Amino acid sequence: MLAASVLMAVPAYAQTDMGGLGGYAKDEQGAVLPGVSVTVTGRAILAPMVAVTDASGYYRILNLPPGTLVLTAEIQGFATYRQEGIVIRAGSTFAIDITMKLASVAETVTVHGESPMIETLKATTSYAITGELFRAAPVTARSVFTDTLDVLPAIGSGQANDGSGVRIYYFMGSSQWGGFTALDGAPFTSFGNFAPARSSMSTETVGDVEVRAGGAEAFTPLTTGIYMNIVSPRGGNALKGGASVTYMPLKWNADNSSGGRIPGGFPKAESIKHVDLSLGGPIRPNKVWFFSSYRYASDENGISRAASDLKNLQTFRPDFQPFNNPWKTTDPYVKMTGQLSERHELSAFYHYDRMQYTSHQNNDADPIVFQSGGGSVYSARLNSEWNNHIVSQVSASYNNKAQSLEDTYNDLKMTRSRRVVSSLEPARSFARTTRSRYRRSRRPSSSCAPT
């Protein structure tokens, strides 16, 4: 699907997934000060962002990326104002008024220990979660980007009943397909299945997460559930990378059945193997940055079978051996950000995910229920700030994510272990037959007529 949008904002708050600052510059007697130069800097900003207060003393700086920033204000005859430790989150806009003090000599007034930043300009019910918190919090063993939803109030979650092990989410009576998930503002999920758990990304790709639960602005995509936007890192002027490994083999799961030898069936087990990598830095300092990430995941979600299940399966198929549900994905991501001018910034990214998994239940005798999902997302966006009152955002994205294509049956293997044994020959035969039929169905027909 190809999507394009043009947004222009006139009100006093940002209408993007980036952040913003605004306020009035006044002297110590409360008189407004036009012509004050306000500058915002920070490690997440390509180049200093500058605004000048208008006749009413008002300034506004938008399209600020998540991070910790420093604000300075200067005008002749007054001491330089400097406020440090301003924390910007995705989609948040804060009001910071500036009080300038007269000074006969050059001096700087630095403000520390201000009260917490509270957004009072919008009535939206929204939550912001940092990537650092997401990666540090042990929410679920699988450590997937949807863990951010599990820590929020009023959002219910639980495992899907298809045996795949993925989690589903509900909010205010909406179904799991009623929400909308975006990556840097672009549609991220498959249009065959809007459930966020049916898409995948590296944990390193998560820089900041904004979740809007109510009172969303008009530009927010129409949804009956929650809107979640993941804002990825941008790189920086210093080369920086990260790596993490999540590993839990089947043998680390508790097993009181002695591998099934004690009557009572097999308990549910889970195997997790994740590798997450990231690298970001400058291509041209203060002009062009890059960020890249990669995830490889190969999991197994066990199928719990009671003694009666095993008895029924072995009656139907005397040579039945228990098997698991595998889940496999590879997720590369690349992002480029460039500063075209002081007021114009261009960014683009490419992301790919293709999950292959099975969803068998406790009464399935053979592993033949294969599924897949995912694909590619391309996106480009131009952010422009024309003056204190008008900003624009022009974006275009292409999403070709789909469900269960021909490659659904490729390279799906199951791990053989002490407590889980698989027999895939019936599934391979089924896959070969299905691929053959699929190719024949796609073969174009032709006819010839004498001339």
Among the ranges given (82-86, 137-141, 197-201, 353-357), the one the predictor scored with the smallest mean pLDDT: 137-141
Q: Measured at the alpha carbon of residue 148, what is the angle toward residues 145 and 153, in degrees to the nearest 5? A: 155
Of residues 153 and 353, more confidently modeled: 353
In a domain, 445, yes or no: no
Residue 420 in this model has a pLDDT that exceeds 80: no
Structural domain total, the chain: 2
Tell me, yes or no, whether 33 and 176 share the same domain: no
Looking up residue 79, the CATH number of its domain turns out to be 2.60.40.1120
Of residues 418 and 60, more confidently modeled: 60
Tell me, yes or no, whether 381 and 244 share the same domain: yes
In a domain, 447, yes or no: no
Among the ranges given (99-103, 156-160, 201-205, 337-341), the one the predictor scored with the smallest mean pLDDT: 156-160
Tell me, yes or no, whether 176 and 41 share the same domain: no
**What is the rounded average pLDDT for all residues in the chain?**
78
pTM for this one? Answer: 0.77
Tell me, yes or no, whether 197 and 298 share the same domain: yes
Give the whole-angstrom CA distance, residue 15 versus residue 91.
8
Give the whole-angstrom CA distance, residue 299 versus residue 246.
11
What is the predicted pLDDT for the residue at 445? 41
Q: Which two tokens stand for residue 115?
A: 């009260």
Tell me, yes or no, whether 187 and 92 share the same domain: no
Amino acid at 142: R
Range of the domain at 59: 2-111
Tell me, yes or no, whether 51 and 104 share the same domain: yes
Q: Which two tokens stand for residue 36?
A: 């004050």
- Residue 196 has what DSSP assignment? G
Residue 166 in this model has a pLDDT that exceeds 80: no
Residue 263 in this model has a pLDDT that exceeds 60: no
